[in-house]
Amino acid sequence: MTSLSLKELNKLPVRLASGHRLCAGCAESIIAKQILMGTSDEVAVSLSTGCMEVSTTVFPYTSWNVPYIHTAFGNGAATCAGLETAYNALKKKGKIDEEIRFVNFAGDGATYDIGLQALSGAMERGHRMMYVCMNNEAYMNTGIQRSSATTLGASTTTSWAGSVQMGKKEYSKDMTSIMVAHNIPYVAQVSPHNWRDTVTKASKGFEANGPAFINAISPCPRGWRFPSDRTIEIAKLAVETCVWPLFEVVDGKYALTAESARIAAGKAEKKPITDWFAAQGRFKHLMTERAEPIVEAYQAEVDRRWERLIKLTEL
């Protein structure tokens, strides 16, 4: 497992170069760089169609300094599983002897919706690969349409906020729990504001003897409507409000990590959901008297999921 000292991390090769065309303030490149710092072994990347793919591989240029393959929206996990299977076959024949790790990056649309079948199949088959969802809670690449990762009340181009509807009507899908239900060796949630927590979890995922899944909150200035210099602040706020708890599940055993562990222990403040809403334009309609029932319902759901998570860590 890679050392987490700055000295050792600085020795790792730059696996995702600067000069890509992601929007200013996009968290996806930050997340990818942190994940790729989780191992000193060679890494092969597959990347599902989405913001990250179209921005880092604009022909004839690429920002990737590792073996890389572009996949469609729906088959990222299948492609990564195919890479891992081919590697095992070549290694068995003695044609490859170095250690190689495999990771697929994808957005929430390619994970929660379009690619769920391929992802579930790859996890069930037990491929030694890591799947990382960079979750910006909508189809940002194609115009900020709602996905099943979009949260209650969020305004998108397909879940409008207006006189008839107050944003998305449904709660977000609990994708992390769905992955835990696959009984795979490692599952975690991370946030780019806490690089040490993210790199530590990536190391565990790369070293897991089987599939690993990491769900990363990825604030999007364009879709969430906040200034591009506040990305890390927004990511931290997601954790502080318990909208996005930091935890890991190792062989079925839950554990809270970083700020979430301190909140559960009463050593840090659990901020109200209104702080989360007030920081983003996609929720501005919820900061009105008319929206109070939605705000109360959202806070209740966040509290329910948080209390459930605490109980799971006590088992």
Count of structural domains, the chain: 1
Q: Check residue 6 and give its pLDDT.
A: 64
**Average pLDDT, stretch 161-170?**
94
**Average pLDDT, stretch 206-225?**
98
Is 40 part of any domain?
A: yes
Is 247 part of any domain?
A: yes
Q: How many Cβ atoms are within 10 Å of 209's Cβ, its own excluded? A: 10
Q: Check residue 121 and give its pLDDT.
A: 98
pTM for this structure? 0.96
**Average pLDDT, stretch 171-186?**
98
Q: Which residues are CB-neighbours of 292 under 8 A, at least 6 positions away?
A: none
Q: Tell me the CATH number at 113.
A: 3.40.50.970
Q: What is the mean pLDDT of the chain?
A: 96
Is 252 part of any domain?
A: yes
Summarize pLDDT for 71-112 with one digit per residue, the tens. Answer: 999 999 999 999 999 999 999 999 999 999 999 999 999 999
pLDDT for residue 70 is more than 90? yes
- In this prediction, residue 12 has a pLDDT band, given cuts at 50, 70 and 90, of confident
Give the domain range for residue 183.
6-313
Is 165 part of any domain?
A: yes
Is 198 part of any domain?
A: yes
Least confident of 12-21, 44-53, 180-189, 262-271: 12-21
Task: State whether the Cα torsion 116-122-128-129 is positive or negative.
Answer: negative
Q: Check residue 10 and give its pLDDT.
A: 72
Summarize pLDDT for 230-282 with one digit per residue, the tens. Answer: 999 999 999 999 999 999 999 999 999 999 999 999 999 999 999 999 999 99
Classify strands 212-217 and 130-135 as parallel, antiparallel or unpaired: parallel
Summarize pLDDT for 121-153 with one digit per residue, the tens. Answer: 999 999 999 999 999 999 999 999 999 999 999
pLDDT for residue 43 is more than 70? yes
Is 14 part of any domain?
A: yes
pLDDT for residue 2 is more than 50? no
Counting residues of the chain whose pLDDT is more than 70, the rounded percentage is 98
Is 1 part of any domain?
A: no
Q: Which of 171, 138, 141, 142 is nearest to 280 (CA)?
A: 138
Is 96 part of any domain?
A: yes
pLDDT for residue 312 is more than 70? yes
